[in-house]
């Protein structure tokens, strides 16, 4: 009898890249649900547009590069990129903003850099930063969260009208408002103290109203990701640890100028970034110790940008900056090989 | 039980031990023809001692150990030698190797067997007996045991002698059955090893999925001071360095051997063959092979070396439907064979006829996403994703910077890779490339040294001739003086008196510098 040969090992775990990516999508569900509850249909509309655009862009790029479509579309990596970016976009962003950001992420940041596994920068964050720099006004179209002030919930038709309304139809006044980090930043600039600012209705129990529930949702999903090992615990631990440490130091120095660490941990994209964005393995550090350092670097940079930089939040910039540093971190954090001399 | 020192990484794999470990060890067939490879061990191929047409007795040496790292090979039964030639053997390379083919006579006529009392012999004599009996490691590697039983190889007394009964690979149960059925024989062999190595302690490591084997070994060790240590089931606990770490907490150095940390490790089946060789005068003629997977009656068989796989499969009821791969060894480290026409060797611990149920469906390899799942499971604490990156890009020196040669090829990384990249395959490829390059380099270096030496010799001879020439310039040199020298060169030298004078005026000829100059270091 003749048999086929193959190299060992002959038994493999069946979990594939596709499963890992799908797990990321499932893990985003609770946070996305909370966002949709507080910020309306726009969150889901963004997700739908982004998914469609990402699949179209991925398909055409794969075809152009002569890659097998079924295998690579089945890895769901494009959808993950789309969702990461869509969640970061304001829920009443015009449709073309999403299209532009996702296309740039997939075409330029992912495929022109070599495709899955080869891109040095987190594609979703590249897309986000391109939009943030090019369209600052559209990028701040966050509605006032449900339950704050006289925010009124938009129905699906109204939302679609705003999103697809074309350039002429801007979001009605009074519908959108500054995010909590925005408020903190502007009012600190006006000389108010953290305690005074915290009395504003945009703030909830720990951080921003509505926002804090979304963060809770993402934390739940993120912990599940870590538990299923789809994400390495070291990156979120490093990032949240780094952010908390530097925030604590400054808060202790001057509690009226610097918000407390729990506010920072619970605000903006900190939790979402720690569990979903920074954990993108392709662009992160890959050694165990390196991942802690990589995460911590992001945490510190996020704080520096928030407290001293030109933007209210800094997760995207912090992640991209640490992406550049990842290969160097890897080089200097190689684990001690079994049997090698200690020290 | 005493404390264990868990090793990094590893995997909980499927077990599939119960398919083959329920039946007692079966006696193997006596095929009409045996094909006995002359290299069933690590080291030099044994020198054939027989010719076509020779009658051989069971146990007669047919191949002599060739050098220190080599092992003898014996006729597994009586019969007539029909060929001494290259035949297919079970080896990952798929290349044929020198074998002795024996047509069996069915009479099983033995050589004269002589038991020895190892306590009365000098250690070197005991080792010689084992060497001549062809005793090698039966865990799969086949390293000549006599070499490892020489305490002169390391400084100071040995701390620990470990007997490896972990059998961590899925499907394989030959050591399990051996320990259950022949524990006393294993311990008897262990006594010989202890006598030779004089270790401070003796530990027997067995995974906890073999309670019957543990019980048998504990009973057999009663009163000896040998300790049975039960380890949790975790692949690859049976790998030498991992087992040593697990039982003693000692890390074998990257470029060292277990003796460097005062430990020596043998397989339980090896101990059993030591017992047969010393107490019965029987060389290694057979071994226990697990035949499992898609065969009608899986089990363990005590097989004569040289028996074709096909005869074993037949004994176990033949193949069932849908065998896709025939694997020698376990599914983690074993290799797939093209066919079952190869003979059982000392390294054949298992024949796994794997069907769709045993194998994972093949999936296309995706790009590495650097998830680090491989890092978590690597028992050598390597960065498999970086090794892959560099091996894939053929950056072999970088791969070595990432300690390619610490890879034990256990397969854990490939098994967990979500991108289904055949990682170990890339490491083997990189290692082979590096070895090939090393060989090329050595060859080139040798050629360069020879060329250099020749140039130096020519130059030296030239100088000597020139010196003689100058001494003898007034009277014309008689041709007889230069006999033995090349007449043409002498003539050329003579024809160039000007050049000779110039070079002789130089304070120091370059020859002396070159003699132990830079090429030595190069």
pLDDT digits (tens, 9 = 90+) for A310-323: 888 889 999 999 99
Taking CA–CA distances from A5, the nearest residue in chain B reads: B336
Average pLDDT over residues B81-103: 93
CA distances from A124 to A54, A55, B308 (A): 11, 14, 59
Q: How confident is the model at residue B150 (pLDDT cuts 50, 70, 90)?
A: confident
Burial group, residue A324, by CB count within 10 angstroms (0-12, 13-18, 19+):
exposed
Same domain membership, residue A192 and residue A277: yes
Same domain membership, residue A57 and residue A77: yes
Return the pLDDT at B491: 57
Return the pLDDT at B486: 57
Say yes or no to pLDDT of B485 above 60.
no
Return the pLDDT at B512: 39
Among A117, A141, A176, residue at a domain's last position: A176
d(CA A20, CA A277): 14
Residue A69 forms part of a structural domain = yes
Indicate the residue of B245, B376, B424 with minimum beta-carbon distance to A7.
B424
d(CA A59, CA A53): 10
Return the pLDDT at A151: 56
Alpha helices in B171-267 (DSSP H): 174-197, 211-221, 240-248
d(CA B45, CA A67): 48
Cross-strand pairs, B301: B26, B289
Helix (H) or strand (E) run with residue B201 in it: strand B201-207
Return the pLDDT at B492: 58
DSSP state for residue B106 in the 8-state scheme: S
Q: Across the interface, do B339 and A291 touch by the CB < 8 Å criterion?
A: no
Residue ranges of B 418-457 with Cβ closer than 8 A to chain A = 418-420, 422, 424-425, 428
Same domain membership, residue A245 and residue A149: no
Return the pLDDT at A121: 96
Task: For the beta carbon of residue B82, count every other beta carbon within 10 angstroms.
Answer: 16
Same domain membership, residue A43 and residue A167: yes
Say yes or no to pLDDT of B1 above 70.
no
User: How many CB pairs (< 8 A) connect A and B?
Assistant: 178
Return the pLDDT at A193: 84
Same domain membership, residue A169 and residue A184: no
Average pLDDT over residues B83-89: 94
Return the pLDDT at B508: 44
What are the structure tokens assigned to B360, written together?
């994972």
d(CA B343, CA A272): 60
Q: Across the interface, do B406 and A118 touch by the CB < 8 Å criterion?
A: no
Check CB contact of B258 with chain A, cutoff 8 Å: no
Residue A115 forms part of a structural domain = yes
Taking the alpha carbons at both ends of chain A, their separation in whole angstroms is 54
Say yes or no to pLDDT of B115 above 70.
yes
CA distances from B269 to B144, B146, B289, B292 (A): 14, 15, 11, 19
Flag residues of chain A having pLDDT under 50: 167-168
| pLDDT tens-place string over residues B250-278 | 999 988 889 889 999 999 999 999 999 99
Q: How confident is the model at residue B476 (pLDDT cuts 50, 70, 90)?
A: low
Which 3 state secondary structure label does DSSP give B442?
helix
Same domain membership, residue A170 and residue A119: yes
Q: Across the interface, do B406 and A339 touch by the CB < 8 Å criterion?
A: yes
Say yes or no to pLDDT of B500 above 50.
no
Taking CA–CA distances from A1, the nearest residue in chain B reads: B339
Same domain membership, residue A57 and residue A164: yes
Order of strands across the sheet with B299-304? B26-27, B299-304, B286-293, B350-355, B323-328, B335-337
Q: Across the interface, do B7 and A339 touch by the CB < 8 Å criterion?
A: no
d(CA B503, CA B464): 12
Which 3 state secondary structure label does DSSP give A153?
coil
Same domain membership, residue A231 and residue A202: yes
Please list, in sequence order, all residues whose beta carbon lies within 8 angstroms of the beta carbon of residue B277, skipping any fewer than 6 positions away: B129, B130, B133, B135, B283, B284
Chain B interface test: which of A16, A338, A342, A343 (most B C-beta within 10 Å)? A338
d(CA B458, CA B101): 53
Across chain B, mean pLDDT equals 88
Indicate the residue of B326, B369, B419 with minimum beta-carbon distance to A3.
B326
Same domain membership, residue A131 and residue A19: yes
Say yes or no to pLDDT of B474 above 70.
no
d(CA B389, CA B188): 49
Check CB contact of B250 with chain A, cutoff 8 Å: no
Return the pLDDT at A50: 97
pTM of the model: 0.84
Same domain membership, residue A198 and residue A150: no
Same domain membership, residue A163 and residue A17: yes
| Residue B277 falls in which region: left (phi positive, over 0), alpha (psi -120 to 50) or beta | alpha
| Contact between residue B346 and residue B39 where contact means Cβ atoms under 8 Å apart | no
Residue ranges of B 291-350 with Cβ closer than 8 A to chain A = 319, 323-327, 329, 331-340
Which domains, from first to last, does chain B contain?
26-328 (3.40.50.11540), 367-456 (no CATH)
User: For residue B305, which of B115, B182, B133, B116 has the smallest C-alpha distance?
Assistant: B133
Residue ranges of B 159-198 with Cβ closer than 8 A to chain A = 170
Indicate the residue of B8, B256, B325 with minimum beta-carbon distance to A10.
B325
Residue A275 forms part of a structural domain = yes
Q: What's the domain count of chain A? A: 2
Helix (H) or strand (E) run with residue B131 in it: helix B123-132
**Angle, CA B179 vertex, CA B173 and CA B185 arms, to 5°:** 140
Residue A338 forms part of a structural domain = no
Return the pLDDT at B114: 92
Average pLDDT over residues B343-372: 89
Same domain membership, residue A197 and residue A167: no
Q: Across the interface, do B406 and A232 touch by the CB < 8 Å criterion?
A: no
Residue A8 forms part of a structural domain = no
Which 3 state secondary structure label does DSSP give B130?
helix
Say yes or no to pLDDT of B516 above 50.
no
User: For residue A285, which of A247, A238, A244, A246 has the smallest C-alpha distance?
Assistant: A238
Among A113, A144, A176, residue at a domain's last position: A176
Residue A134 forms part of a structural domain = yes
Indicate the residue of A11, A334, A339 with minimum beta-carbon distance to B359.
A11
Say yes or no to pLDDT of B502 above 50.
no
Residue A343 forms part of a structural domain = no
Among A176, A201, A218, residue at a domain's last position: A176
Q: Which domain covers residue A44, as residue numbers? A: 13-176
Residue A6 forms part of a structural domain = no
Return the pLDDT at A232: 94
Say yes or no to pLDDT of B499 above 90.
no
Instruction: Tell me phi and psi for residue B81, to 5 degrees.
Output: -75, 125
């Amino acid at each position: 009898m003749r048999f086929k040969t193959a190299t060992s090992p002959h038994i493999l775990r069946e979990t594939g890249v596709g499963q890992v990516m799908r797990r990321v999508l499932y893990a985003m569900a609770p946070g996305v649900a909370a966002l949709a509850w507080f910020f309306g249909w726009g969150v889901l509309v963004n997700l739908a547009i982004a998914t469609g655009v990402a699949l179209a862009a991925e398909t055409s790029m794969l075809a152009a590069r002569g890659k097998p479509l079924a295998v690579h579309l089945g890895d769901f990596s494009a959808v993950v990129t789309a969702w990461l970016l869509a969640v970061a976009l304001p829920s009443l962003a015009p449709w073309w903003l999403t299209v532009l950001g996702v296309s740039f992420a997939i075409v330029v940041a992912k495929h022109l850099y070599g495709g899955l596994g080869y891109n040095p920068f987190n594609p979703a964050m590249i897309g986000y930063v391109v939009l943030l720099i090019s369209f600052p006004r559209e990028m701040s179209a966050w509605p006032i969260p449900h339950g704050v002030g006289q925010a009124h919930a938009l129905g699906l038709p109204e939302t679609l009208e705003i999103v697809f309304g074309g350039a002429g139809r801007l979001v009605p006044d009074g519908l959108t408002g500054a995010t909590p980090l925005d408020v903190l930043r502007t009012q600190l600039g006006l000389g108010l103290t953290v305690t005074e600012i915290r009395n504003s209705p945009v703030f909830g129990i720990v951080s921003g109203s509505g926002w804090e529930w979304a963060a809770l949702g993402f934390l739940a999903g993120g912990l599940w990701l870590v538990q299923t090992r789809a994400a390495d615990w070291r990156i979120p631990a490093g990032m949240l640890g780094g952010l908390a440490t530097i925030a604590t130091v400054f808060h202790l120095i001057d509690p009226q100028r610097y918000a407390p660490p729990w506010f920072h941990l619970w605000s903006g994209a900190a939790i979402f970034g720690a569990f979903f964005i920074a954990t993108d393995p392709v662009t992160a550090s890959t050694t165990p110790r390196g991942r802690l350092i990589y995460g911590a670097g992001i945490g510190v940079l996020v704080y520096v940008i928030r407290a001293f930089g030109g933007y209210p939040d800094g997760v995207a910039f912090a992640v991209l900056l640490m992406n550049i540093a990842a290969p160097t971190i890897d080089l200097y954090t190689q684990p001690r090989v079994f049997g090698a001399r200690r020290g | 039980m005493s404390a264990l020192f868990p090793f990094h990484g590893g995997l909980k794999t499927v077990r599939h031990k119960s398919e083959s470990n329920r039946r007692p060890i079966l006696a193997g067939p006596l095929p009409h023809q045996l094909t006995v490879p002359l290299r069933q061990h690590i080291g030099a191929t044994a020198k054939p001692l027989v010719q076509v047409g020779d009658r051989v007795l069971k146990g007669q040496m047919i191949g002599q150990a060739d050098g220190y790292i080599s092992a003898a090979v014996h006729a597994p039964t009586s019969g007539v030698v029909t060929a001494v030639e290259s035949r297919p053997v079970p080896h990952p390379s798929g290349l044929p190797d020198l074998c002795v083919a024996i047509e069996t006579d069915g009479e099983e006529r033995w050589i004269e067997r002589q038991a020895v009392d190892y306590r009365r012999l000098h250690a070197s004599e005991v080792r010689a007996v084992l060497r001549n009996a062809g005793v090698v490691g039966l865990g799969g590697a086949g390293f000549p045991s006599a070499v490892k039983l020489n305490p002169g190889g390391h400084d100071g007394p040995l701390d620990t002698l470990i007997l490896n009964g972990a059998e961590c690979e899925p499907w394989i149960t030959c050591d399990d059955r051996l320990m259950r059925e022949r524990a006393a024989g294993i311990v008897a062999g262990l006594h010989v090893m202890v006598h030779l190595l004089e270790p401070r302690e003796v530990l027997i490591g067995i995974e906890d999925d073999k309670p019957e084997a543990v019980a048998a070994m504990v009973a057999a060790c009663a009163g000896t001071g040998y300790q049975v240590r039960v380890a949790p089931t975790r692949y690859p606990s049976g790998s030498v360095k991992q087992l040593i770490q697990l039982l003693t907490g000692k890390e074998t150095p990257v470029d060292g051997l277990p003796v460097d940390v005062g430990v020596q490790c043998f397989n339980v089946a090896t101990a059993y063959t030591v017992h047969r060789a010393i107490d019965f005068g029987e060389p290694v003629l057979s071994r226990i092979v697990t035949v499992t997977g898609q065969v009608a009656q899986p089990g363990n068989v005590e097989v004569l070396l040289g028996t074709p796989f096909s005869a074993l499969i037949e004994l176990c009821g033949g193949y069932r439907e849908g065998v896709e791969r025939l694997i020698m060894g376990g599914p983690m480290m074993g290799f797939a064979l093209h066919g079952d026409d190869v003979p059982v060797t000392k390294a054949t611990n298992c024949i796994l006829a794997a069907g769709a149920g045993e194998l994972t469906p093949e999936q296309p390899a995706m790009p590495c996403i650097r998830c680090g799942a491989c890092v978590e499971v690597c028992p050598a604490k390597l960065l498999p994703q970086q090794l892959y990156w560099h091996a894939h890009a053929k950056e072999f020196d970088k791969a070595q910077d990432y300690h390619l040669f610490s890879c034990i090829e256990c397969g854990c990384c490939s098994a967990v890779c979500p991108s289904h990249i055949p990682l170990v395959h890339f490491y083997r490829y990189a290692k082979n490339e590096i070895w090939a390059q090393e060989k090329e380099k050595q060859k080139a270096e040798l050629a360069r040294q020879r060329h250099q030496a020749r140039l130096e010799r020519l130059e030296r001879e030239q100088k000597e001739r020139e010196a003689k020439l100058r001494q003898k310039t007034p009277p014309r040199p008689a041709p007889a003086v230069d006999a033995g020298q090349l007449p043409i060169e002498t003539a050329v030298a003579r024809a160039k008196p000007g050049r000779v004078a110039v070079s002789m005026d130089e304070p120091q000829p370059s020859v002396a510098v070159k003699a132990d100059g830079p090429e030595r270091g190069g």
